[in-house]
Structure 1
Amino acid sequence: MGARIAVVTGATGGIGRAFAERLLEDEGIDELWAVSRTPEKLERLRGDLGGRAVPLAADLSTAEGLRVVERALLAQPERPTVAYLVNNAGAAKMGAWAEFPVDEIERTVALNCTAVAALCRICLPFMGRGSRILNVSSASAFQPTPFLGLYAATKAFELSYSRALGAELAGTGVTVCAVCPSWVDTDLLLHEVNGRRVAFPGLVPPGKVAALALRDARRGRALSVHPLYAKYLHVAAKLVPQRLVMATWLRMLKRYGG
């Protein structure tokens, strides 16, 4: 019988590392495949996490990087089971539209959208009843978000794709959970707008996001929305006109800009 594997992308820091640490607490996981584009960080992670952590260096914004994961699965001597796929790798930047070169736009869409769908396609043939897909989206997926427009739009894709894929997989025993936290205390986002630093209050620790997301996924929930403020945004986005939601967001930027 092949190994039971958890695949975590963007595993070397922030939410991804928190997922990796918590999944290794599951004795039913034989190997934790940590995917990142930086080999040096992966080696440090393996040193920290121990022998069950398997580093896979891959730039998931490229087709070749996606094939690294596919080839690794196909190369196993016995057919493995992907017990968890955590699509966490992503690109993000705050800024006005003119601050994004075309190549950066392409890479952001490739990493935040294409890679998510592609890795689901690659891993699903190796998944079975009880397997879980967790796609790390964001509370910014709930509404248009000026000065975070590209990131929020890609996260809206991730949320929509996750819900649709979950419906397609109904009855298979494989579940899909879209993880939609509010502001997380990581270095992913450059919290600056028009040269001013944005110091948002109430940042959520990555470990809490990962723990709650795994709890929700194991309960078969399609959404993991935390903290309470993010739940409020989810409801407000359905009830309040988008122009008012965007106006509120712009006031927040002005208030918390340094």
Structure 2
Amino acid sequence: MTKTALITGAASGLGYELSLLLANDNYNLILIDVDAEKLKEVKAEIIETYKCKVDVLVKDLSKPNVAVEIVEAINDVPIDILVNNAGFGLFGSFNNTEWERELDMIHVHVITSTHLTKLLLDGMINRRSGKILNISSLAAFQPGPLMSIYYASKSYLLSFSEAIANELKGTGVTVTVLCPGPTKTSFQEVVSESASDNKIDFNMACPSEVALYGYNAMQKGKIVAIPGLINKFLASLHRFVSRSMATKIIRNIQEKNRKID
């Protein structure tokens, strides 16, 4: 029987790449994004190339109760794989950044991802089969001055994923959290809307390679997936220096690679 995967933020970046991997493995897809035009293009591309069913939902994941809207819209289709990928960043000192944009980020990264997981999890447990892939970040492992809400929300996703992965042992449902470092996607443009320069190019990963790493980790039931040796080292930075020193290092990196208008 054909299985179904639901992917948020599917119109570009890692969400797009993961959609291709799932289509290649003959999953039917439910693709969700706020960008209607890009979703339409992705659907057409996948249908032309792969033998799977593709449905799209244009949804703004920053809106309250959008998870309920999504579950109602899929009309009781059993979801075998849930990919909580949608997200964005915002650069700047917390006292200068726009609260409405930060609230949207918290809704997308924390509330909607958690609510979708909550709403779809019982079905997976009842079927004793299912996989959840949450896209966090290398940012999850330490505080991030000048991107405080982004780092904090990604840290939430890491902690939440590890906790429920433990709870779900023996149920047939697995949870994987992918924590990539800098990846060549539209994220860099979005995060630097308030910056006059963006020079991040060190340790920049290919999105298709990052997606494949996370996809394989999910299929194997691995809990925490960190692609790249440099990223694995940076994730364990707190073991070698104090937390305050790690925070200073992150701030220096942010200031070196971006400057505020």
CA separation in 2, counterparts of 1:68 and 1:57? Answer: 11
Deviation at 1:250, TM superposition (A): 2.7
Q: Which SS does the other structure have where 1:171 is aligned?
A: coil
Deviation at 1:192, TM superposition (A): 6.9
Structure 2: segments with no counterpart, 5+ residues: none
- Runs (4+) of structure 1 exceeding 6 A deviation are none
What is the identity, as a one-letter code, of the residue corresponding to 1:104? R
Deviation at 1:238, TM superposition (A): 3.6
Structure 2 residue 160 is the aligned partner of structure 1 residue 146: no
Q: What whole-Å deviation, never above 9, does each CA across 1:202-257 have from its counterpart, x for those lacking one?
A: 21111111100111111111101011111001221244211111222233234444
Structure 2 residue 53 is the aligned partner of structure 1 residue 61: no
CA separation in 1, counterparts of 2:84 and 2:155? Answer: 14
Alignment map for 1:243-258 (pairs within 5 Å):
243-257=244-258
CA separation in 1, counterparts of 2:82 and 2:43? Answer: 18
Partner residue, 1:109: 106
Structure 2 residue 47 is the aligned partner of structure 1 residue 46: no
8 Å CA contact retained: 2:91, 2:195: no
Structure 2 residue 73 is the aligned partner of structure 1 residue 72: yes
8 Å CA contact retained: 2:196, 2:258: no
Structure 2 residue 9 is the aligned partner of structure 1 residue 10: yes
CA separation in 2, counterparts of 1:157 and 1:254? Answer: 24
CA separation in 1, counterparts of 2:257 and 2:89? Answer: 19
Q: Which SS does the other structure have where 2:133 is aligned?
A: strand
The 1:6/1:19 distance shift into structure 2, 3 A limit, reads same
Q: Which SS does the other structure have where 1:81 is aligned?
A: coil
Structure 1: segments with no counterpart, 5+ residues: none
Deviation at 1:97, TM superposition (A): 1.2
The 1:193/1:22 distance shift into structure 2, 3 A limit, reads same
Q: Which SS does the other structure have where 2:248 is aligned?
A: helix
Deviation at 1:89, TM superposition (A): 0.5
8 Å CA contact retained: 1:95, 1:192: no
TM-score w.r.t. the length of structure 2 is 0.89
Structure 2 residue 87 is the aligned partner of structure 1 residue 82: no
Q: What whole-Å deviation, never above 9, does each CA across 1:102-139 have from its counterpart, x for those lacking one?
A: 21121111111001110101111232334210000000
Equivalent residues, number: 251
Q: What whole-Å deviation, never above 9, does each CA across 1:15-48 have from its counterpart, x for those lacking one?
A: 1000000010112x2x200001122221111111
8 Å CA contact retained: 1:96, 1:193: no
Identity among equivalent positions (%) equals 26
CA separation in 2, counterparts of 1:256 and 1:9? Answer: 29
Q: CA RMSD in A?
A: 1.9
Deviation at 1:193, TM superposition (A): 7.2
Partner residue, 1:196: 197
